[in-house]
Amino acid sequence: MILVLIGIDGAGKTTAAHALAAHVPPGTDVLVLGNYSGRKTFTRWARRIGVQPPARLMDTAETLVRLVNVLLNSAKAARFDGLVIMDRHLHCQLALRAARGLRRGVLLPAALRLLPRPDAVVLLDLSAEQAQLRIAARGTDSENLDELRAYRTAYLSQAREAGHPVIDAGGAPEAVTADLRGVLAGLRPGASLEPAGTVPGPSGAGPELPE
């Protein structure tokens, strides 16, 4: 079974992936894999030398790095007998493209069709303001608030179109882990997840999805 976690920076994808791996039923083998794009590294380099690369150039570099990671990790997943939790996937690059006003292109959608289909792709949703506070607290990098808002809108639109479950990532880590376990409980190995609504957050209603 392959579970993919997506969401804006600061949503807690990596934390949630490892927390979920620690709370699966005994006897279940778990593999956590990260499909990173190098976006933070590229951005840090650009700021260091005082340039702002064109959005298309950044996307090209990130796409190549992300695609290589996804291909390598998909090969690992194919050889692994158990639960594979992927921290990010090609869906993330498509969301970044939408937020930057770039076209989806042909390569990424084609790759998603050819690669093994995840049993579930779950969006961890968090407000841009909360995400920025978390990013500032970790003290290793920074994110522009307007860009975070644009990324979040793109992810929510993607979830609406594809039917990805949406989990409120603004609550306690234990609540997020419990919601993810609930998603897993509704799956069967090798089965595809049918389009679903949102997983209710603390307020009792999922995040609003833009039209």
pLDDT of residue 186: 87
In a domain, 66, yes or no: yes
Instruction: Quote the domain boundaries for residue 60.
Output: 2-199
CATH number at residue 169: 3.40.50.300
Query: HEC states along the chain?
Result: CEEEEECCCCCCHHHHHHHHHCCCCCCCCEEEEECCCCHHHHHHHHHHHCCCCCHHHHHHHHHHHHHHHHHHHHHHHHCCCCEEEEECCHHHHHHHHHHHCCCCCCHHHHHHHHCCCCCEEEEEECCHHHHHHHHHHHCCCCCCHHHHHHHHHHHHHHHHHHCCCEEECCCCHHHHHHHHHHHHHCCCCCCCCCCCCEECCCCCCCCCCCC
Give the model confidence (pLDDT) of 111-136 as tens digits: 999 999 999 999 999 999 999 999 99
Q: How many structural domains comprise the chain?
A: 1
Identify the segments of the chain with pLDDT beneath 70.
188-211
pLDDT of residue 26: 83
In a domain, 152, yes or no: yes
